[in-house]
Structure 1
Amino acid sequence: MSLEKAWGLLEAARRLHVVSHVDLDGLAAAALLLRWARRRGIEARHSVAGVRGLYRMLRRALQEAAGQPGSLVVVADLSPRGRDDAEAIAGLLRWGQRLLWIDHHEWPEGAREALERAGAVVVHDRSRVTAEIACSVARCEGDDLELVGLARADDSCAEDPRGLAERWRLVLRHLDWEGLRRAAEALAQGELWPDWVREVYEREAPSYYSEIREKTSVDRYEFNGLRVAVVTPPPRASGCDVQRLGLVPGPEEADVAVILYPRGISIRTWGQLRADCIASRLGGGGHSHVAGAPRPSTTMGPAQIARMVANAAEECRTGQ
């Protein structure tokens, strides 16, 4: 039913404003929606946002839409931080603006209902990457599936046959907001590896990988029999790259591995322990064995982070 409603919104749109996350899945989803709009001669634009800046970006987009009949705002690959955040966003839909939200992350309880009560259409499917959901919503054609493959490989930290996901992952971490929009535009135009992106990769790759190898540290802890490894890479390093270089302890050494960033943490688990459950108790979300959450404070060191994660994991194991 949600897919049909989403298709109806797209079909009725005369202007499209896509607000996407900054990773490859979010940008690929945005590119697919931009392609759909331009094939039909519909005016389309794109903005990027992180979780923290989403409300501000949506407020601006929805205010603009209020003065432009036929406008549709689409959020791709971002989830509300909590029910209160969803209620605040729902409160922006005062003048009948149309909002479509597609995402695959875990959502806080009550967030979807709050948005749908305000008239938003939400297509939420945790079994697929957001680019794949965008394909279903926009009824993709032919070459569009290449973007879905890239998004899937990046999201799962898997290799794709051409190695593009790994290289895009590096490039995106070295772009500013304008560069990220330019990247989505290139993908929308069918440029899977444009020259300017290749130049960024060739310039940054040697120092990027060398810095990860030289500056990543690993601290190990144990709380009530739960082994927690905290991996601290350089600030711009991707968790997928840290893992690919063999710097994240596996199930033989840890029950939970945490990659520590300046503003967030990435959680990896194995077996029955679910990373998304741990992350949800820390204000985040994700997938069953790879998830993320905000870092409460930059002053919290590895030991404090490890204990916080262990406490959340214990709640998940006991069902509290």
Structure 2
Amino acid sequence: MLVGIGPGSVEHMTGRARAAIAEADTIIGYVTYIKLVADLIEGKEVIRKSMTEELDRAIEALARARAGKKVALVSSGDAGVYGMAGPTYEVLFEAGWTPDSGIAVEIVPGASALNSCAALVGAPLTHDFCAISLSDLLTPWPVIARRLDAVAQADFVVALYNPKSGRRTQQIVQAQQLLLRHRRPDTPVAIVKSAYRRREQISFTTLDQMAEADIGMLSTVLIGNSQTFVREGRMVTPRGYANKYALEEGGATRAGEQAGRSLSTGLLGWLRALQAEHQAGATPDELARRHRLPADYIVQALLAPAEAPTAAAAEEGEA
């Protein structure tokens, strides 16, 4: 059982996570994670591993399972998000494991760091977001840098995992530089250390000041998008209701918009506007620059139908 224990406090673990640990004969995990579940593992075989021994944990779990033990391999957060699920499956497949080989595998989900930290600072993940790890122990830096540049340009809220350590001090600086190419210096940033644990720390800063903040391996960094704001100590990313509804007028629908329908600037509305711009003389290259989209995509969009299908056509497509 690959058990996500959430941020670490027992009250934030799922009922299934607690039950899985109770059922297990053997508990395996990073020493810090073992400490977080110490109250739940009394009387069990406990195998503690160091930070960089992820494959050793998976190999040990397989060996114990083959010996007939019921094993709980614990991860903080969610086992499938920068956790032990991936390396464990790699070890299993390398050993020739199949679902019918006699060893059952269960992944027990848990709240990842981005969920836990977001809950503490407000609602920063209400709109599109992504997670990027700054650890280059296993991922080449150019890959990480390209991802940072892409999400910054695309205006995602960004959750940075593994932002800084005693040896890796420049990755957060490089990330800041890449993000500042596309984001305002005053973009809100929240830094949460040890969420829901004894030494929890929460601080707010801005993108241009981010690299000077107190950040370590136990920190998660949440960087807002162009709409994110901080008010009354809460970081919020609007979902976009103000695009359709006049909140200052009691939520009345704005002119040109319809409740329950795509925005007037949604796909079909945008296609109609794009094609009108093209008919007015704008070239695909000009439209690509104007909308900050690839030119070949613009060419395809100009050929796409800009009207919704009829009810009959929609039913036929569904059939």
* TM-score, normalization by structure 1: 0.31
Bigger proportion of residues as helix: 1
| Bigger Cα Rg | 2
* TM-score, normalization by structure 2: 0.31
